[in-house]
Amino acid sequence: MYNDIRLEKALYNLSGKSFTAALEELDPSSAYCGTPLEKLDAYERQLKRFNIRIKGQDCDCVEKFFSSTESAVLFPEYVTRCIRKGFDETVLSAVCAAKTVCSSGQYLGCTLDDTAEYTTSVQAAVLPAANVRESSTATVLAKYGRLISASYEAIRQQRLDVFGVMLRSIGVKLAAAVVADAMTVLADSAEEISTSSLVYSDLADLYGKFSCFDMTTVIASPGNASKIAAMDQLKECRANADGKLVLPFGSELVKTSAAPADKIIGIDRNFALEFITSTDLVMETDKLIDRQLDQMTVSITCGFRKITPSAVKVLKITAG
């Protein structure tokens, strides 16, 4: 049972396993089916074990994690989860078709040469080929990170829900830096149409450039997104379940400061972009457990690769 698990620093250092995955091996969630704890994962059961409340009216303070040597082991995972939540709440999920984990700092994917026309073939004729080849260029992954300085004395009386919001904001800003790379990769060598000013007909023209694929997503800078939202044709439009504005032709409008100010990027998010990472979010666990919070770091090593170039089109704005 979860009350009998021995918590120690070594659980963070098991090869190929996250802290939660290590806990799940010791305390499988499947054993709690049909019980009041079935909706909790192994980490959340440990929070319950030590009566650590991370949200709500009776939320605890940071120092509650350090009431024992075992409960202190849970603190790095709390920090990581908060930052990851902020990281995952950004536009990455709205623009990436696939996520790949690789073991090195460079990734050599495949390319698809499928330019032959899809048409009927006569009997016994050789069928047109779609050729999959190893890419001639590697995607070099870059490291993004942040040094967080916060002494234990400064935060020990801070409520966990408020401290969690601060950590989530770091995750959001970290993801924004990562998304900037995604925008560069999407816009690079993409088919472009131009306009001297941004009007609704330009968006319709961009939509019409997609043939086999659909324009599921329109990515715009905050300034351009506000201009789109103010168009008369969008007065009757409503947000979807994720809070994103849906354009009349069905495309979701994604606003991000990482998008270039002179370009609107249209994509079919099911085919356009691959997110490549060699690490999950990495946190210095030992310092957190030992309350040496003065210099803790969080980082991720990642990059992007365009999978299907024809699933990306760009509207270039040539004047203000």
| pLDDT for res 97 | 94
pLDDT digits 0-9 by tens, 167-226 = 999 999 999 999 999 999 999 999 999 999 899 999 999 999 998 899 999 999 999 999
Instruction: Classify burial at 33, counting beta carbons within 10 Å of its beta carbon; exposed 0-12, middle 13-18, buried 19 or more.
Output: exposed
> Is the predicted pLDDT of residue 320 greater than 60, yes or no?
no
How many residues comprise the chain?
320
Taking residues 152-172, report their average pLDDT.
Answer: 93
| pLDDT for res 313 | 97
Taking residues 79-85, report their average pLDDT.
Answer: 93
| pLDDT for res 71 | 94
269 is written with which tokens?
């998010």
Q: Higher model confidence: residue 150 or residue 65?
A: 65
Which sequence spans correspond to the domains of the chain?
1-49, 61-113+132-320
Least reliable range by pLDDT among 17-26, 145-154, 255-264:
145-154
pLDDT digits 0-9 by tens, 25-56 = 999 999 999 999 999 999 999 999 999 999 98
pLDDT band at residue 117 under the 50/70/90 scheme: confident
Count of C-beta atoms within a 10 Å radius of residue 182? 27
| pLDDT for res 183 | 96
What is this structure's pTM?
A: 0.84
| pLDDT for res 111 | 87
What's the mean pLDDT when you consider all of the chain?
A: 91
| pLDDT for res 287 | 76
pLDDT band at residue 239 under the 50/70/90 scheme: confident
> Is the predicted pLDDT of residue 242 greater than 80, yes or no?
no
The string over 242-268, giving b where at least 16 C-beta atoms fall within 10 Å of a residue's C-beta and e elsewhere, is eebbbbeeebbbbbbebbbeebbbbbb
**Rg of the chain over all Cα atoms, to the nearest angstrom:** 24
Query: How many CA within 13 A on the CB side of residue 45?
Result: 24
pLDDT band at residue 296 under the 50/70/90 scheme: confident
Question: Percentage of the chain surpassing pLDDT 90?
Answer: 67
Taking residues 233-250, report their average pLDDT.
Answer: 86
Which is it for strands 110-113 and 142-148: parallel, antiparallel or unpaired? unpaired
Beta strands in 114-190 (DSSP E): 131-134, 139-140, 142-148
The CATH H-level superfamily of 61-113+132-320 is hypothetical protein PF0899 domain (3.30.2320.10)
Angstrom CA distances, 1 to 4, 24, 37, 174, stand at: 6, 11, 11, 37
Q: Are residues 28 and 11 in contact, defined by beta-carbon separation less than 8 angstroms?
A: no
The one-letter code for the residue type at 214 is: D
Count of C-beta atoms within a 10 Å radius of residue 279? 14
| pLDDT for res 195 | 93
φ and ψ at residue 228, rounded to 5 degrees: -65, -45
